[in-house]
Amino acid sequence: MADEEPVNGTAEEVPEKAQQKKAAKYDSGAADLEKVTDYAEEKEISTQNVAGAISAIGDRRNQAALEKQAREKELLKVSIRKEDVDLIVREMEISRTLAERTLREYHGNVVSALIALTN
């Protein structure tokens, strides 16, 4: 009875079916592996996008800081009179530094500075 053929088919068909089952198991493992690989690639891409965005934000901040610094240097070059600063401080009841800054922004023009402070 050891030489009998299986009921479902020939003896050659049994190993083929076993091989197909093994191949199916292997394919499903490969499919799972591809999913993991795709996820890792998406994660890498999103990490690169975030790093690029952070870099762009940092560049914008640096540029804004440089522009502000250049503006401050430009304002310091404007000459103002002490009497004008005293007048603005006394009339508007504001700090001396704010009065000086406003006066510098309006190139020493007291009337324009006062109008700007009242608006």
Examine the domain organization and report whether 64 and 16 are in the same domain.
yes
The domain total for the chain is 2
Domain boundary among 50, 69, 88: 69
Q: Do residues 78 and 108 lie in contact, with contact meaning Cβ atoms separated by under 8 Å?
A: yes
Query: pLDDT averaged over the chain?
Result: 78
Burial 42-62 (b: 16+ CB within 10 A, else e): eeeeeeeeeeeeeeeeeeeee
What integer pLDDT is reported at residue 32 of this predicted model? 65
**Alpha-carbon torsion angle 96, 97, 100, 104, nearest 10:** -170
* Residues in contact with 13: Cβ distance below 8 Å, sequence separation at least 6, in sequence order: 6
DSSP string spanning 39-84? HHHHHHHHHHHHHHHHHHHHHHHHHHHHHHHHHHHHHHHS---HHH
Q: What is the pLDDT of residues 23-78, one digit of tens each?
A: 555 555 666 666 666 665 666 666 777 888 888 899 999 999 999 999 889 888 88
Going by pLDDT thresholds of 50, 70 and 90, the confidence category of residue 79 is: confident
User: Is 54 inside any structural domain?
Assistant: yes
Structural domain range at position 24: 12-69
